[in-house]
Structure 1
């Protein structure tokens, strides 16, 4: 059914290896069971915000004409409201559509064995005749449903209509894509923004999620997604390059917050390549080591590029494919190490939002950050101590020059995105941290 759905109970046949009708259902179920056997959960990206019938000029394939008022948000003159940007929008307050959506979701859980859903343009589901509310009929029905209330629910918490930006507002059980995390972290590693904003993102975005009983893990932290630049392109291009899409490079977002490091696109310049490598590794480290649930775009761990195209939905070719012969093995190993560090230190995976006693912030000299330093956009170095057993220091140099960091208390380096050197004879005292890099240190117990 893909991104222009008609059959909400039908896995997209083109994704299946089996050629006979219906085989994709058994194949999907077998796939889900195999993933479960390997210890992996299955989250399905679902599109209940529009259908393939488009606007008044679109095809009649299912509900158009016979059930317009029940299915779609309509305007005067038989026109279709379009807060999705896809020609129409499902009227999810309609009892018939609530019934259809819930029946479909339950089918995917009970018959196809999925563990949860990511809802594309989830704010469309929150639309009612009166307002956008995250207790709209279909959302309330899901919360009361004995099956759906037990699975993972993830919102893309916006659409393009009036009132559509609902980030931070979905009810307690829902997790949400955290776009503020994305923007802040992208800015951080091109030396923009304050430490106070970065600090909020490193520690679970309590300003957005510490209400309605929500926890840090309700923040789906991400830097890249299926829309937009890949991680490799984020550090390689200042501008989008979507000419292949045939829209004169007018499609795709212009708000990329990217930096090419000194040359646009492919280059042999060793300084530019070193800069890009450092920032790729630090971006991944910030994502994986921050409180919350990290979401990694497939291919970012191996350096996949789309050649600067940030809108490849229409490209079924080398621009959107993975080149399995060109994987960045060093970046893959770095990603593995980061995941091991996240797993090793529970303080990096807090169940509740940290209190002031759980967090301490230091400058490169190992002294407590002043309010002026905390809010000064020119200050590019911070040491964040997460208190626990053991405590962990995240030392970030987000600026263009190497910095000597004195640890605020004795610690040992357990991971560094770039090679570090000692600042003295005592290895627990501190290290010289290269530009655009991260150091993880375990605080040593007191004698």
Structure 2
């Protein structure tokens, strides 16, 4: 095997580099050290590895270099004449025996798993598959076509960047307001973003966008996947794209379709700009599977580098994959090099890209060993002891599709979790379902039943009613069923159990009463989320009434369905004003963001319990009240003197007392003020008001009743002056 490919160049004159040094096995990937580039790639079962070098655009292969050095299954070399911008890939030789788990095919160009930058786009072709498409033996056949022309290429990155005085905001968990957004969809139609920057990292860093986030009160943005990903072939053939990005190709390289400049530093500039505004950046990361799919998928990277090491095989037949993700494969983090890849990637995004934490897609899949989720797995242990990663925010999507995959409330210390018990309970309650008083009380008070027994705090619960996966808030109150026809799957995809209610009419409606009810329901949902204990998460666009027209699975809708519609209307402006005030109320009062769970007992030095659950008669709820299947109205008294937390300097924290009245009945209910200290209450918030702010009214003394309208929330305080609502 020569160092030059006869198929791509006719003579040595076309070679880029004539000097090849042994190099080092670490760091992995292609590393520019100021003098040359070190290449290092793992393959345990390969018999030979070739480094393939391309022109700057990655279109023409110029040279192949046989990697003669192998250290602990790391193949490596050093090119002293190489510089940043060099495009490259790998071809790996070894056995092609799928029945034994090996799928080496040197005809397929492979992406370096540690590539920090990519050039070019994947173009679907049968040549991308290691086997011959249409062959009667399927993946047991062998395809000899060269895939290089259809593949993106890795590119050596110049990592220098002026971070200056960049500092992580380090927002305390209890103070966070998370905002889940899609980089492209968030700014694609934003009128304040210059046209060329819309849908990009640069667009997200524009002043009008930053101003909106700050005025909204967002502390933390959670970006949907920004690792390089590819569109699935079945979407490409339908004229659709993978919009959400849960189809990762490279765990170190940012997605270039979101870059106006096509440069990695644009992502860094975005992070730096958000940090300057006091906003944290979390990444939604997908380490549970790759874009190569099942045994009939393409050979793009891991499969051709070392299929048997990188993927979990089916216990019945190594030809197939263990699939706990629904995406065809599951990465093997039991293998030390698989685990190292993920850990190195996470550290890279923290140390080099300055992100503040991660949300892990289908997180239990990362901790599976011998088919089971192991809470003492190598993955959890590695993160727990890592001096970099155990200092950042870690959020789990605590379920996957395998046996015992539902792990809500069971993640280790240091982790927060998306709480779908909260989502479903709150949705069902405001939908009007019966028998939910106990469930809703547990969720809004921090879900102590899920987290306190493990020694966690309320911030372990990420509270949400909407996320990218499912209805937007506007659709949640406008549709009883999903409408995913645009996805091209005859509306079979997406969740059928949405716990939604259309308020009497399916879809768009001009009826004033229906529209008013929908607007009130949106305010009810938002008030519930933002005044619950735990960490609230808002879906970007919900504060502005964004609709996906009933599509609850817009993963392939890179168009007006998925993009946020920023066109102003009076209804949208009113909702935006309401949300801003509501976030301000939460952030102004530690009562709504306690660092510890309620005890339901009298605190030392206080005359009353830290929380009281009340009937509409103003009396403390008893067992029979909790068991009343028809009860849909309750009150929650929060004692500002019963907060056990202390300030940064150890000072005791005191706050105002609040009374939250919640009515999911369709009828109005006169709620009696409780006999607490004899002090009067004033109405601070009422979701029946368009802006949430009731007109100045009388003080309500113990025993007097406040008319809580059907399907509404009312918040009263001891004194409405200076409470941060206006």
Q: TM-score, normalised by structure 1?
A: 0.95
1:282 offset after TM fit, Å? 0.3
The aligned residue for residue 226 of structure 1 is 468
The aligned residue for residue 272 of structure 2 is 33
8 Å contact from structure 1 (residues 373, 379) kept in 2: yes
The aligned residue for residue 102 of structure 2 is none
The aligned residue for residue 13 of structure 1 is 256
Find the partner of 1:442 among 717, 720, 723: 717
Q: Distance in 2 between matches of 1:421 and 1:108?
A: 46
How do residues 358-373 of structure 1 correspond to structure 2 at under 5 angstroms?
A: 358-373=610-625
The aligned residue for residue 417 of structure 1 is 687
8 Å contact from structure 2 (residues 372, 403) kept in 1: no
Q: Distance in 2 between matches of 1:421 and 1:402?
A: 16
8 Å contact from structure 2 (residues 685, 694) kept in 1: no
The answer to whether structure 1 residue 374 and structure 2 residue 626 are counterparts is yes
8 Å contact from structure 1 (residues 421, 431) kept in 2: no
How do residues 243-392 of structure 1 correspond to structure 2 at under 5 angstroms?
A: 243-326=485-568, 328-357=572-601, 358-388=610-640, 389-392=655-658
How do residues 37-436 of structure 1 correspond to structure 2 at under 5 angstroms?
A: 37-75=276-314, 76-129=317-370, 131-192=372-433, 193-326=435-568, 328-357=572-601, 358-388=610-640, 389-408=655-674, 409=676, 410-419=680-689, 426-428=699-701, 429-436=704-711
8 Å contact from structure 1 (residues 68, 74) kept in 2: no
The runs of 5 or more residues in structure 2 that have no matched partner are 1-227, 229-244, 602-609, 641-654, 721-726
Matched residues, number? 440
Q: Distance in 2 between matches of 1:396 and 1:143?
A: 40
The runs of 5 or more residues in structure 1 that have no matched partner are none
8 Å contact from structure 2 (residues 686, 694) kept in 1: no
Q: Distance in 2 between matches of 1:345 and 1:421?
A: 19
SS at match of 2:254: coil
Deviations, residues 32-81 of structure 1 (Å, cap 9, x unaligned): 11111101000001000000111111000111144222211112041111
8 Å contact from structure 1 (residues 242, 310) kept in 2: yes
**Which structure has the larger Rg?**
2
Q: Distance in 2 between matches of 1:338 and 1:159?
A: 34
8 Å contact from structure 1 (residues 421, 433) kept in 2: no
SS at match of 1:189: helix
The aligned residue for residue 91 of structure 2 is none
1:344 offset after TM fit, Å? 2.0
Q: Distance in 1 between matches of 2:356 and 2:455?
A: 22
1:212 offset after TM fit, Å? 3.1
Q: Distance in 2 between matches of 1:98 and 1:305?
A: 39
8 Å contact from structure 2 (residues 682, 698) kept in 1: no
Q: Distance in 2 between matches of 1:254 and 1:66?
A: 39
Q: Distance in 2 between matches of 1:324 and 1:300?
A: 11
Q: Distance in 2 between matches of 1:112 and 1:130?
A: 34
Q: Distance in 2 between matches of 1:425 and 1:442?
A: 13
**Which protein is richer in strand relative to its size?**
2
Q: Relative to 1, partners in 2 of residues 1:314 and 1:417: Cα closer, same or farther, differing over 3 Å? A: same
Q: Distance in 2 between matches of 1:281 and 1:294?
A: 15
Q: Distance in 2 between matches of 1:432 and 1:325?
A: 36
Deviations, residues 134-163 of structure 1 (Å, cap 9, x unaligned): 221112101100000100000000111111
Q: TM-score, normalised by structure 2?
A: 0.59
Deviations, residues 269-292 of structure 1 (Å, cap 9, x unaligned): 122112111111000000010000
8 Å contact from structure 1 (residues 394, 439) kept in 2: yes
Deviations, residues 332-368 of structure 1 (Å, cap 9, x unaligned): 1111111111112211111011101221011112111
1:431 offset after TM fit, Å? 1.8
Q: Relative to 1, partners in 2 of residues 1:242 and 1:326: Cα closer, same or farther, differing over 3 Å? A: farther
8 Å contact from structure 1 (residues 50, 84) kept in 2: yes
SS at match of 1:9: strand
Q: Distance in 2 between matches of 1:425 and 1:107?
A: 58
